[in-house]
Chains A and B, each alone.
Chain A
Amino acid sequence: MNPKLLEILVCPVCKGPLDWKKPAHELVCRACRLAYPIRDDIPVMLPEEARALSPDEIHGKA
């Protein structure tokens, strides 16, 4: 994914900032507890395609 994009993209639900989890190919919104996938270098910013974070991930253990 183009790193410049990270400066622009926000969560489509809460419009808050995202963390780029490079190894997992995900963009994470902590507030909404959602991880948006990056597929074939294309960020998929659709809440219905996002993965719900597990409690461990939310508390920063994973």
Chain B
Amino acid sequence: MDKTTHFGYQQVAESEKAAKVAEVFHSVAAQYDVMNDLMSAGLHRLWKRFAVAQAGLRPGMKVLDVAGGTADLTRLFLKEVGDTGQVLLTDINFSMLREGRDRMLNEGRTPPAIQCDGERLPFPDDYFDCVSVAFGLRNMTHKDQALAEMNRVLKPGGRLLVLEFSKIWKPLEPAYDLYSFKLLPLMGKLVAKDAGSYQYLAESIRMHPGQKELKAMMETAGFAKVSYHNLTAGVVALHKGFKV
């Protein structure tokens, strides 16, 4: 029997999770940006800006955007590193990646886009100054393997940014649960015509490690000086760590 893992609240075989996640994102790709604005009341834009401000980028630096999807972070990173720098947009999901790539082409930019798995990155050791994964780690089957790969491709001294849903401040939990399990699937149904994918979103957030657990996972993967910053009362946290 294959080892099992969680897919939201369901238990599925490890080998099945990636395909199930792919189905979710294939289904929501076209409505992804609209839904993000709607669900977070635009806050996701601020969370992403905060993450990019914490990247410590200078012109000429090399950045890898893992699970970069519709290119929100990639576009912000490009402004920081300029024409002499390099930002690679990657995602495991072809539908999401094409949305991001086409959106940038429409703005007159030609970013390199690569379809790849965060757990098996097609890049050399010690290459990037910064690696980011925003709202992506949660969906990966082997998070420890993905963190180890991100560590491998970073230059010594390079930094990893993990922007992800986290554990909300305890007193707000009941309201947040009501929002996540009643309103989110309803919005998903009305706007993206897909309640199931947004039910998965709410469940996968509950199953994802909290602030302290993720910090410990990053340290186990070899990152030093790991710190985190709660955003919007811990709805989201930005974790930062450095390759030694």
Contact = CB atoms under 8 A, between A and B. Distances in A.
A31 interface: no
Interface in B94-146: 94, 97-98, 101, 110, 112-117, 120-125, 127
A56 B117 CA distance: 29
Contacts of A10: 122-124
Given A5-B112, A46-B115, A13 B123 contact: no
B92 interface: yes
B97 A42 contact: yes
Contacts of B101: 42
Interface residues of B, number: 20
A12 B120 contact: yes
A9 B122 contact: yes
B105 to A, nearest CB: 10
Given A10-B123, A44-B94, A2 B112 contact: yes
Given A9-B122, A44-B94, 5 more contacts: A8-B127, A10-B122, A45-B116, A45-B117, A46-B115
Contacts of A8: 88, 123-124, 127
